[in-house]
Amino acid sequence: MQVLDPWDHKPLDDVLSDLRDVLEDPDYPTVKRWRAAGGKVLGHFQVYFPEEIAHAAGMLPLKIRGAQIEARQAEARFGSYLCSIVKTSLELVLSKHIELEMFVTHPICDAARNLGAVWGRNFSYPCQILYLPQNANSASASAYLRHEYDRLRRSIEAIVGRTVTDDDLRTSMAVFNENRKLLRDLYTLKRLRPWVLPADEAYVLVAIGGSIPREEHNALLKAMLPQIEARTTRPQDRLRIVYEGGFCEQPPIDLLRAIAQSTYIVDDDLMIGLRWILTDVPTAGDPLLNLAECYLEHSSYSPVQHDLRKPKEQMLLERITSSGAGAAIISAAKMCEPGLEEQVAYSRALDEAGIPYFVSEFEESMTSFENLQTQLETFVENVLFA
């Protein structure tokens, strides 16, 4: 079913504007439409979740990514020194902006791992932690993760009241493989011709996938990407940058827009969970094992996964090199410990490599960007005219 308003006869700019409105609407109209048609929803917290398993059961996998709302009820359930996304994500459900049949969080950070218990004390539907392996270098990690995915499958089966077969999973994996390819195409476009796809528009196109059925996201991307490629926008003399720090809490779209006014963001880690797996997941053989192996062996990086094969500063340098960027914005959400810790390592690696960088913090609810814009413009001028 289609949960977005019809978009196929609208001009590109109107569609992108509408998508942004949907994305920023804390009432999640796409989810409401899905539920109104009798659909069930599995909410999963950032960063990565094997959405194929929920999809194969006929549920809508919904990426819980916080919101620009006041966390009135949630504030009473948390301590003071906490990032915003944890609070606003709970607020979304406490204040019934969204309703779920199941919630899954992950031990990505000290705050997020508490969400399973907090959510479970406040809602009667199943709330659990999916223990993605933290020892990615163990030879037994993929076998363990395969079992963990199977445990998740059984939990989901209990909710939908039917068996989720391997063939169901294969069908879903094919849908998600297509989605991953389309997102790779979008990022290729960002890298090659960033002037036709500003960062804020690219973000909207990617992020909307977390709250609509993936078939619909595929149709949307297939229709939009050629139109974007056909834009005749002329390139400008702007600094090409990599934006790092959007793996969990998301910066406001206006912040990305402000950055895009003086730079081209040619690569980033925004909503990296939707793009975590870098290749097609093989559909032949054991689908859960294939998913598990791709999570471990063919995946991106983030500050919340430790993998000896993927030193994060090295991965950042590769991202900068492969995208042809000349600088980086090293950002972190306020109170985000993993992001703030990584800033130190990133800064030192960039210093050593002689790559200019701009360090900043953000919060999803921030509304004023003038200072940031001024500082960034100064940074850009310093780099361009150095």
Q: Which stretch binds another protein (CB under 8 A): 54-62, 171-179, 278-286, 328-336?
A: 328-336
110 near another protein (CB under 8 A)? yes
Is the omega angle on the peptide bond into residue 47 within 30 degrees of 0, that is, cis?
yes
Q: How many CB atoms lie within 10 A of CB 151?
A: 13
Let me know: does 192 contact 323? Beta carbons within 8 Å.
Answer: no
Q: Count interface residues toward another protein (CB under 8 A).
A: 57
314 near another protein (CB under 8 A)? no
* DSSP, residue by residue, 177-230: HHHHHHHHHHHHHHHH-GGGS-HHHHHHHHHGGGGS-HHHHHHHHHHHHHHHHT
- Name every residue whose Cβ is closer than 8 Å to that of residue 289 and which is 6 or more positions away in sequence: 142, 143, 146
CB of 70 to another protein, least distance (A): 17
Q: What is the DSSP letter of 371?
A: H
Q: Which stretch binds another protein (CB under 8 A): 74-82, 239-247, 274-282, 365-373?
A: 74-82
Crossing angle of helices 312-322 and 337-353, rounded to 10°: 60
Beta carbon nearer to another protein, 20 or 312: 312
Q: Across the strands, what pairs with 131?
A: none
Q: What is the spatial distance between Cα 245 and Cα 159, in angstroms, rounded to a whole number?
A: 35
Q: Which stretch binds another protein (CB under 8 A): 73-81, 161-169, 252-260, 375-383?
A: 73-81
Q: Across the strands, what pairs with 271?
A: none
- The mark string for 118-137 relative to another protein (x by CB under 8 A, - otherwise) is x-xxx---xxxxxx-xxx-x
Burial class (CB in 10 A: 0-12, 13-18, 19+), 385: exposed
Beta carbon nearer to another protein, 86 or 325: 86
CB of 245 to another protein, least distance (A): 13
309 near another protein (CB under 8 A)? no
User: Of 182, 132, 156, nearest to 55 (Cα)?
Assistant: 156
Q: Which stretch binds another protein (CB under 8 A): 189-197, 242-250, 304-312, 369-377?
A: 304-312
Beta carbon nearer to another protein, 98 or 108: 108
Beta carbon nearer to another protein, 7 or 45: 45
140 near another protein (CB under 8 A)? yes
CB of 120 to another protein, least distance (A): 5
Token duo for residue 23: 């994305």
The runs of H, that is alpha helices, within the chain are 12-24, 29-36, 51-56, 72-75, 84-94, 115-122, 141-160, 166-192, 199-207, 214-229, 253-260, 287-297, 312-322, 337-353, 370-384
Beta carbon nearer to another protein, 141 or 265: 141
Beta carbon nearer to another protein, 166 or 313: 313
CB of 139 to another protein, least distance (A): 7
80 near another protein (CB under 8 A)? yes
Which of 2, 25, 39, 77 touches another protein by CB under 8 A? Answer: 77
Name the residues that contact another protein, by CB under 8 A.
Answer: 76-82, 86, 107-111, 113-114, 116-118, 120-122, 126-131, 133-135, 137-141, 143-144, 147-148, 151, 303-304, 306, 308, 332, 334-335, 337-338, 340-345, 347-348
